[in-house]
């Protein structure tokens, strides 16, 4: 069971109210003969001071403010405050994607205004929102930025909040040692400040972590400290949370008497506060108790009750856990139809959750990129208009000077000096605009770098590969900042499954395909437990066709080529399959080509009547020190050399044979150097990926 934790706190915001009537005329303000910025300020003042606005009315007012100020792009406190309030409205709706969008807009303005205190608030709010979205790396990045600002400004309450939020992110990632360290830093500050409520929060979360680590005595100690504080405050909801967690620990310790006392207290408190979330958590604890005591019918009843409640509250992770337990109980009761039904519910819910997170990450990066591009286009148009005006003024001045020369030489000299000063001022304006455009271009590059960071978080790394195969390496050189090639690795049932994948295109289109491929491989192997290479690729093909709606050869034909293996270290065997990608095996100083099916994954051919596409599985027995090299065609298709030819398969085989006796670190270094010399000053034409592995 996932123990009940506190939601990420310390979100810094101003209140938004929710009542029924307008109470003023928006049209009357818009019709006033005043500047747009003054109109926006009046509307925003009404938004902040009136409590008779519902959610839709609040959003309408803020949208009007943004519309009035957008054309001028004011780097003002007013504009930053409007973006902040719009973000908080979207957070209230549960729309994390748009919440992040508006907080990012606020951040950009805070950076320009150099308001370090409020910038710290923005980073904190971004970190909280990313954590709610399940994007923990981004959450940590923003919380750490907020932490530095809180330290610099000596905001001790804010500092404690940052440590608490950072600890929660590590907690959710099950990095418990880091979580405990940050909770204790937060607790140390809170004890000095003396605010009892935040102290109780931290005691509770420390108790839960120690319980998850099976250090039950420490867990009970911290939970009892929290209980004593909540009794004094009083705080019924958090007191109920503490009792339910103490009951869960009792289930783990098989202390039936203590369990009855604690679960009874939790039930009695929740009768008063009527919290749906607590109903779900308590039902889940009771279900696990009945499951451990082998009372299957009662366990099934409470798991089903908890599942309904978790679905109502939107707690997807807890809902998945309930579905998994219900399926297991039905399977043990030989009720395979119901077991299958709940397994399907588990897969559908998990897939929906993964898709939302993947879509959120890509959409954030794309929206930021498109916004910067649009702003750059506006700046370029403004610059062109300014240049045209300057040119017009230039000819006008020349004519004026010529006329004045006819009158008097002295007056002409005076006029020329004056006009030269005007031209110099115009040139300074143009130079400033040029610098602004260069800054916008830099922001665009930073947006793509941000998307690159998101994409890399999905890819398996060389460090992960070396954890399973000490003699190995990965060489990955994208053509652009974002890549369509990626390496994927997983371990299931003591078998290693890995693949070298080449998606259609490179850059942003290739990156989007790579995230789709990564998600489908995780689902097929880690959730559906399919461990046949050919079947995995067949499922991957079907998933891409369905997700990209490739039901007709008139639709998108995007897809991917790949080589996929399953290594059984116990049986010393290698099963493999592929889609238009092959690999090389070097065994006893001989190179063997592992050929695969000459069909790509994805797309629909004219002669195909269904989405099914056959991919063959091959199997071979491995000898000690056999080496495998998987690669994408970006290496063999690279032009270079004195005659500007492709590197080619033959020359690549020779390169591998010349180096395979060296250590894998030396192999990687030599191959990179060779490709660099071969390419010379020729443009890289595609993403490059090479993986080398030696089997023991």
One-character DSSP codes across 668-679: HHHHHHHHHHHH
Q: Which of the two residues, 568 and 364, has the higher pLDDT score?
A: 568
Under DSSP, is residue 295 helix (H, G, I), strand (E, B) or coil? coil
Q: What is the gyration radius of the CA atoms in the chain, in angstroms?
A: 32
73-87, 433-447, 570-584, 641-655: segment of lowest average pLDDT: 433-447
Q: Are 226 and 203 in contact (CB under 8 A)?
A: yes
Q: What is the pLDDT of residue 398?
A: 54
The number of helix segments (H) and strand segments (E) in the chain equals 24, 12
> pLDDT band at residue 444, thresholds of 50, 70 and 90?
low
pLDDT digits (tens, 9 = 90+) for 184-236: 999 999 998 888 888 998 999 999 999 999 999 999 999 999 999 999 887 88
Out of 103-107, 440-444, 504-508, 647-651, least confident range: 440-444
pLDDT at 17: 31
Strand 573-579 vs strand 618-621: parallel, antiparallel, or unpaired?
antiparallel
Q: What is the pTM of this model?
A: 0.46
- CA 457/CA 473 separation, integer angstroms: 18
Higher pLDDT, 251 or 456: 251
490-520 in b/e burial notation, b at 16+ Cβ within 10 A?
beeeebbbbbbbbbbbbbbebbbbbbbbbbb
Give the range among 441-450, 491-500, 526-535, 632-641 with minimum mean pLDDT. 441-450
* Structure token pair of residue 650: 């033959």
Is residue 20 over pLDDT 70?
Answer: no
What is the pLDDT, as a whole number, of residue 384?
A: 52
Residues 6+ apart with CB under 8 A from 202: 164, 183, 186, 187, 190
> Vertex 443, ends 91 and 377: CA angle to 5°?
100
Residue 312: the pLDDT is 82
pLDDT, greater one: 174 or 452 = 174
Helix residue ranges, H only, 173-295? 176-193, 196-212, 216-232, 236-253, 256-273, 276-292
Per-residue confidence (pLDDT) for residue 10, from 0 to 100: 47
Cα distance between residue 596 and residue 536, in whole Å? 14
Q: What is the mean pLDDT of residues 363-371?
A: 49
Report pLDDT for 239. Answer: 93
Signed CA dihedral, 140, 142, 143, 148: sign only: positive
Contacts from 429-436 at CB under 8 Å and sequence distance 24+? 429/386, 430/383, 430/386, 430/387, 430/390, 433/379, 433/382, 433/383, 433/386, 434/383, 436/379
% pLDDT > 70, the chain: 85
Q: How far apart are CA 324 and CA 3, in angstroms?
A: 16
Reported as a single tens digit per residue, the pLDDT across 678-691 is 999 899 999 999 99
Prior bond of 234 cis (ω within 30°):
yes
- Backbone conformation region of residue 663, classed left if phi is above 0, alpha if psi is from -120 to 50, else beta: beta
**What integer is the mean pLDDT of 452-466?**
86
Mean pLDDT of the chain: 84
pLDDT recorded at residue 336: 87
Interval 501-532: pLDDT, tens? 999 887 888 889 999 999 999 999 999 999 99
Task: Identify whether 580 is preceded by a cis peptide bond (ω within 30 of 0).
Answer: no
Q: Phi-psi bin for 174: left (phi > 0), alpha (psi -120 to 50), beta?
A: left
As a whole number of angstroms, the distance between CA 218 and CA 213 comes to 10
Structure tokens at 369: 């990129």
What's the average model confidence in pLDDT over 595-617? 88
Task: At 591, list the tokens.
Answer: 């190179």
């Amino acid at each position: 069971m996932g123990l009940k934790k506190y939601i990420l706190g310390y979100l810094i915001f101003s209140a938004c109210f929710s009542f029924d009537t307008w109470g003023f005329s928006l049209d009357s303000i818009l019709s006033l003969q005043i500047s747009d910025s003054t109109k926006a300020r009046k509307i925003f003042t009404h938004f902040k001071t009136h409590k008779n606005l519902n959610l839709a009315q609040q959003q309408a007012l803020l949208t009007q403010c943004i519309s009035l100020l957008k054309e001028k792009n004011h780097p003002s406190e007013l504009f930053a405050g409007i973006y902040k309030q719009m973000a908080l409205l979207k957070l209230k709706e549960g729309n994390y994607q748009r919440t992040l969008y508006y907080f990012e807009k606020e951040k950009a303005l805070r950076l320009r205004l150099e308001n370090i205190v409020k910038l710290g608030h923005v980073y904190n709010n971004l970190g909280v929102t990313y954590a709610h979205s399940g994007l923990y790396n981004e959450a940590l990045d923003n919380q750490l930025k907020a932490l530095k600002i809180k330290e610099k400004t000596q905001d001790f309450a804010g500092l404690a909040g940052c440590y608490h939020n950072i600890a929660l992110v590590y907690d959710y990632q099950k990095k418990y040692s880091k979580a405990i360290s940050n909770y204790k830093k937060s607790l140390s500050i809170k004890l000095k400040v003396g605010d009892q409520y935040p102290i109780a929060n931290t005691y509770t979360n420390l108790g839960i972590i120690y319980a998850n680590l099976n250090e039950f005595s420490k867990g009970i100690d911290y939970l009892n400290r929290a209980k004593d504080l909540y009794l004094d405050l009083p705080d019924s909801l958090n007191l109920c949370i503490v009792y339910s967690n103490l009951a869960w620990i009792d289930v783990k310790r098989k202390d039936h008497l203590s369990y009855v006392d604690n679960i009874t207290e939790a039930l009695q408190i929740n009768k008063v506060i009527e919290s749906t979330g607590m109903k779900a958590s308590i039902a889940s604890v009771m279900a696990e108790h009945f499951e451990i005591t082998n009372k299957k019918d009662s366990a099934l009843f409470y798991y089903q009750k908890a599942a309904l409640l978790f679905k109502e509250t939107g707690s997807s992770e807890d809902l998945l856990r309930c579905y998994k337990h219900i399926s297991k109980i039905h399977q043990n009761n030989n009720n395979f139809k119901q077991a299958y039904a709940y397994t399907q519910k588990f897969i559908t819910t998990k897939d929906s959750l993964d898709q939302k997170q993947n879509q959120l990450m890509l959409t954030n990066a794309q929206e930021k990129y498109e916004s910067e591009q649009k702003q750059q286009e506006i700046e370029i148009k403004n610059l062109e208009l300014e240049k045209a005006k300057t040119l017009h003024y230039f000819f006008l001045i020349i004519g004026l000077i010529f006329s004045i020369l006819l009158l008097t030489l002295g007056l002409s000299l005076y006029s020329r000096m004056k006009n030269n000063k005007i031209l110099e001022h115009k040139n300074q304006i143009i130079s400033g605009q040029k610098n602004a455009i260069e800054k916008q271009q830099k922001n665009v590059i930073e947006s793509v770098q941000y998307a690159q960071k998101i994409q890399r978080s999905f890819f398996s790394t060389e460090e992960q590969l070396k954890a399973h195969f000490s003699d190995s390496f990965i060489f990955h050189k994208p053509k652009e900042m974002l890549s369509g090639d990626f390496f994927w690795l997983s371990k299931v049932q003591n078998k290693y499954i890995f693949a070298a994948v080449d998606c259609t295109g490179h850059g942003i289109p290739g990156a989007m395909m790579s995230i789709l491929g990564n998600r489908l491989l995780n689902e097929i192997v880690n959730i559906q437990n399919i461990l046949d290479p050919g079947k995995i690729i067949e499922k991957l093909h079907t998933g891409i066709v369905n997700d990209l709606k490739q039901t007709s050869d008139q639709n998108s034909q995007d897809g991917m080529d790949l080589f996929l293996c399953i290594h059984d270290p116990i049986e010393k065997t290698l099963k493999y399959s592929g889609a238009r990608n092959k690999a090389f095996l070097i065994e006893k100083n001989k190179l063997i080509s592992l050929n695969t099916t000459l069909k790509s994954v994805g797309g629909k051919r004219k002669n195909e009547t269904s989405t099914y596409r056959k991919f063959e599985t091959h199997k071979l027995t491995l000898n000690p020190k056999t080496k495998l090299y998987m690669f994408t065609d970006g290496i063999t298709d690279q032009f270079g050399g004195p005659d500007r030819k492709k590197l080619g398969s033959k020359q690549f085989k020779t390169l591998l044979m010349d180096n395979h006796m060296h250590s894998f670190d030396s192999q990687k270094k030599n191959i990179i150097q060779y490709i660099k010399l071969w390419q010379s000053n020729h443009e890289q034409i595609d993403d490059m990926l090479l993986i080398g592995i030696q089997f023991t």
